[in-house]
Chains A and B, each alone.
Chain A
Amino acid sequence: MIVKDLSSCSNYYSQFFKEYTELRMQENREINIAYVKGNLMRNEINATSGVSARVYKSGSWGFSSNPDLNPDTAKSVIKSATDNALYLDSRVKKSEKPLPDDKTLAENDFATRNVRRSQKELVDFVKELDTYIDNKYPSLTSRIVVLRCLDMEKSVITSSGSSFFSMIPRTNFIIRLSTEKDGHPVELYDVTGGLGQFEDLYNSASELYQKVDKIYEHLMNKREGVFSNAGVRPCVLDAALAGILAHEAIGHTTEADLVLGGSVAGDYMGKEVASDLVTLVDFAHTAMGGTCPVPVYVDDEGIKAEDAVIIEKGVLKCFMHNKESANHFDAKPTGNARAYQFSDEPLIRMRNTAILPGESHLEEMIASIGDGYYLMKPGNGQADSTSEFMFGVPLGYEIKNGKLGKAIKDTTISGVAFDMLKTVTMVSDDMSWSNGGMCGKKQPIPVGLGGPAIKCKVNVGGR
């Protein structure tokens, strides 16, 4: 358990702060339960906690961490981080100006108030879901049911006066079903869940039966699926795909550290980069009146987190910043600095990235396409500093004469996001979040991504 209110000890620790300093205590707790074809292959609890300090000296950072959570260790990591910053400064002498000030006080605790379930009850819950699949769909060749819970609890003070505590939990089920067609495996998976501890999201395994049935229905369609016809096609990208596009292909290029590293977005500030139907926001904690999947109220540098409106009506408006990049670009920090583990330094990370809803209905978007695809789910994806992207598409359907046709086999979509977004001609009026995302950039970090469906032209793989 970490100290919930580090501010109460700030007088004690501040005497050791010689330069700009952040002191963070953090604990990550995980539960992993996995059934593979009825076999309990994972049944684990992991907990990692410790204290870290990061110190800034004229453009040079020093960092240190230790798993022992006690005042003496905190003191030693402050000293070690300070020594590291001073050593680096003595070698490189960057003479950068001081970081922007912060003074934010906050406490955001999303821990459940319900009675916690035991590990046995969680295992039984997953087993019940697995048994439902086995009984109802015995012809499946394989099934995997995974429960993943992650609680991230952190307490931070900075030498410039910020102090906050946060406990942000996430619970996800991953359900993967497999069948065969002519001796070849065909599979489909989906991820569900989101912000909150298990007890706040689920009461009974039966609540997930409808999700299973839907995956099975799509899998059976995909089993009889056809290859997509390779080439640039008119497509409707459903919310999950539009969300990963917003995150991977646009979002990363507009993280200020990657802009400094040469990303193409550095040349586009203030320019038209998308259709005027596209407004893309990295939400801090609240969107459309609801709490986002990964709410960030104060970032790990003690900056009050605010929404970053990256593209507004097609025009590139801002980058995402930490304190240092805000200094460089003479901008305001946006509260995007986040660390995954106690032993990680904060990096510029997205929080909840989405295109804003438009005015079209999904049905009319599909009806407007004569020959194209409705692409529903993303697999893994990658994007480039050029905004060139590639995403796997494990679930999609043909659109023929305005109507959904046959399912398609696994395919990929690719393109240059800043070009592709200029082809957007319709944006749906609804919005949904994908809540299971983990972004990789030196460290992993939970992210939210979502949005409406968009109609655009995109390069579809296939034969």
Chain B
Amino acid sequence: MNNREIGRYGLSCLIKAGADKAQCVLAKSEKRELNVEAGKFSLIRTTYDSNMNYKAIKDNREGITRSNKTDKDSIEQAAADALEIATSSQFDNAYDIAEKQESKRFYSGSKEPDIDRMFNRLQTFVESVKEKYPKTILELAILDFTHLNSYFMNSNGVDFTTSKGIYNFIAMFTSKDEERTSSFNYSGFSTRELEKEFLDYGTINLLLKQSSEQLELNAVNEKFTGDIIITPDSLAEFIDYFTGIFLRDVPIISGTSVFKDKLNEQVADSGFTLYSRPISGEIADNYFVTPDGFEAKDSTIIEKGVLKSFLLSLYGANKTVRERAVNSGNVYVVDPGDQSFDDMVKSVKRGLLLCRFSGGYPNDNGDFSGVAKNSYYIEDGEIKYPTNETMISGNLTELFMNIKSISKERVNYGDKILPWLLTSGITISGK
């Protein structure tokens, strides 16, 4: 059986086993990966995998199984298991599958990696780091090319095929000079072609430069309430917290989200606009179909500070009688502001350039606290020195409400596009 036939067979087994509604998703992946450890090439990996995801709904009861086997016996067993699990499930009218949509095929990126080019690009990167930043050790650098073919089918007639090839890179590094050691830092990017040197992607070069500066640290010796400039790398984390705690299924269904009744109301400063853009042409690492089997569309989550959409799945939408999100989130894009990064720094009386946040997951109320890693103290509009052992605490809702400015500059990581963001009212404390 070819892949499409495997997917169809899985769907037919679910229906034959008695499902009223059924969905089968097959994902076949091939990955080539190069690893560098402690500044030296260490490993090449070639991995193949399959993922068959079966969903059966019978008498408004749902069962899900996943398996990476695609032979007939395994498919029949997994489909039967999904029905058995559905039988064990509770009655719930909210269980459902996507309605019929026009069948489509989506393509992005290459089918095959260029291994020699991968090796050469990574080798150039390793050598460049050694040359430009001799005190910086590449703890780990991973470059992979993943090709993924996915087939989404359900008993309502949904039939989508996606084919995606993407290069992903992440580098993690520490600087060391005799017994002085910096905090580790990391960044990465996704791209469809390896068209330029890795130091020219995302914030890799900026963070390596900062790492080499962070061997000489100073403490912030007191506690004060000040501003923070959140870098694009750390903004990604705060946006994930925001969406996870306030906008997705669990906080809305359980009622713990403080924004559960705030649709079309102000939840952030009017300068802040947040999109999820999985199909955008400016994004390299697209996705085209949601896990529920809907064709993904770009969406506006927050427009000029006003909440325009939750990130509810089909189940979450049915359960809470709200609108389903037109995608499954991520691939976040924030509109640029009108201030340059340099002017942003000049406007700070006292605060931090927050380059990495090492913190506990915020509680349901949005309270967070943690260590400002790889960060810099700012006073009277100047970046003074890199800091150590400096904690910050605040509240997520206040953080986004108190935005003072957003940078003109943005960073495109291939899977998100984010600016620098200046906000106020953060408690900053040294030792």
Answer yes or no: do A and B interact: yes
Identify the A interface with B (CB < 8 A): 36-37, 39-50, 52, 60-68, 80-81, 84-85, 87-88, 91-92, 94, 118-124, 127, 141-142, 144, 178, 184-187, 230, 232, 257-258, 260-264, 267, 343, 345, 379-382, 384-386, 388, 390-394, 409-412, 414-416, 442, 459, 461-463
B46 — which chain A residues lie within 8 A by C-beta? 63-65, 80-81, 84
B175 within 8 A of A: yes
B85 — which chain A residues lie within 8 A by C-beta? 43-45, 119
Q: A92–B66 contact, CB under 8 A?
A: no
Chain B 55-74 interface mask (CB, 8 Å, partner A; 1/0):
00000001111111110000
Q: B137–A262 contact, CB under 8 A?
A: yes
B339 within 8 A of A: no
13 sample A-B contacts, Cβ–Cβ < 8 Å, listed by A number: A39-B92, A40-B89, A41-B253, A52-B47, A67-B49, A178-B256, A185-B256, A261-B184, A390-B360, A410-B360, A410-B367, A412-B370, A461-B429
- Pick from A47, A264, A394 the residue with the most CB of B within 10 Å: A47
A185 — which chain B residues lie within 8 A by C-beta? 256, 258, 363-365
Q: B44–A84 contact, CB under 8 A?
A: yes
Q: Are A442 and B140 CB-contacts (below 8 A) given A63-B44, A384-B184?
A: yes
Number of B interface residues in the complex (CB < 8 A): 77
Residue A39 contacts which of B123, B253, B363, B364 (CB distance < 8 angstroms)?
B253
B41 within 8 A of A: yes
Whole-angstrom CA separation of A380 from B81 in the bound complex: 34
A-B pairs, top 9 by smallest CB distance, nearest first, are A392-B360, A261-B139, A120-B88, A185-B364, A262-B174, A142-B254, A260-B38, A84-B44, A46-B66
Q: Are A382 and B49 CB-contacts (below 8 A) given A67-B68, A144-B254, A390-B371?
A: no
B363 — which chain A residues lie within 8 A by C-beta? 185-187, 394, 410
Q: A44–B181 contact, CB under 8 A?
A: no
A123 — which chain B residues lie within 8 A by C-beta? 88-90
A398 to chain B, nearest CB (A): 18
Q: Are A263 and B174 CB-contacts (below 8 A) given A45-B66, A67-B68, A410-B363?
A: yes
Q: Are A345 and B429 CB-contacts (below 8 A) given A44-B85, A178-B256?
A: no
Whole-angstrom CA separation of A45 from B53 in the bound complex: 10
Residue B369 contacts which of A62, A65, A94, A461 (CB distance < 8 angstroms)?
A461
Q: B88–A92 contact, CB under 8 A?
A: no
B87 — which chain A residues lie within 8 A by C-beta? 120
B3 within 8 A of A: no
Nearest-CB residue, chain A, relative to B176: A262
B250 within 8 A of A: yes
Residue A43 contacts which of B41, B62, B223, B388 (CB distance < 8 angstroms)?
B62
Whole-angstrom CA separation of A201 from B175 in the bound complex: 47
- Pick from B94, B139, B364 the residue with the most CB of A within 10 Å: B364
Residue A141 contacts which of B81, B137, B256, B429 (CB distance < 8 angstroms)?
B256
B156 to chain A, nearest CB (A): 21
Nearest-CB residue, chain A, relative to B31: A343
Q: B43–A345 contact, CB under 8 A?
A: yes
Q: B361–A267 contact, CB under 8 A?
A: no
Near A by CB (< 8 A), chain B positions 27-45 give 37-38, 40-45
Q: B65–A414 contact, CB under 8 A?
A: no
Q: B68–A36 contact, CB under 8 A?
A: no
Chain B 337-367 interface mask (CB, 8 Å, partner A; 1/0):
0000000000000000000001111011101
Residue B63 contacts which of A43, A62, A118 (CB distance < 8 angstroms)?
A43
Whole-angstrom CA separation of A49 from B70 in the bound complex: 12
Q: B88–A385 contact, CB under 8 A?
A: no
B41 — which chain A residues lie within 8 A by C-beta? 60, 88, 91-92, 94
B48 — which chain A residues lie within 8 A by C-beta? 65-67
Whole-angstrom CA separation of A409 from B66 in the bound complex: 40
Q: A64–B47 contact, CB under 8 A?
A: yes
Q: B361–A44 contact, CB under 8 A?
A: no
Supplied contacts A385-B181, A388-B373, 16 more A-B pairs, CB within 8 Å? A52-B47, A60-B43, A63-B46, A87-B44, A91-B123, A185-B364, A186-B365, A257-B38, A263-B174, A267-B181, A382-B359, A385-B174, A385-B182, A386-B182, A390-B370, A412-B391
B52 to chain A, nearest CB (A): 10
Q: A88–B65 contact, CB under 8 A?
A: no
- Pick from B89, B254, B361 the residue with the most CB of A within 10 Å: B254
B179 within 8 A of A: yes
Chain B 74-110 interface mask (CB, 8 Å, partner A; 1/0):
0000000100110111101010000000000000000
Q: A386–B183 contact, CB under 8 A?
A: yes
Q: A343–B140 contact, CB under 8 A?
A: no
Nearest-CB residue, chain B, relative to A91: B119
A40 — which chain B residues lie within 8 A by C-beta? 62, 89-90, 92
Q: A63–B223 contact, CB under 8 A?
A: no
Whole-angstrom CA separation of A461 from B49 in the bound complex: 44
B372 to chain A, nearest CB (A): 10
B205 within 8 A of A: no
B243 within 8 A of A: no
Nearest-CB residue, chain B, relative to A412: B369
A45 — which chain B residues lie within 8 A by C-beta? 64-66, 81, 85
Nearest-CB residue, chain B, relative to A264: B181
B187 to chain A, nearest CB (A): 16
Whole-angstrom CA separation of A409 from B366 in the bound complex: 13
Whole-angstrom CA separation of A178 from B66 in the bound complex: 31
B133 within 8 A of A: no
Whole-angstrom CA separation of A410 from B116 in the bound complex: 51
B94 — which chain A residues lie within 8 A by C-beta? 39
Nearest-CB residue, chain A, relative to B50: A67
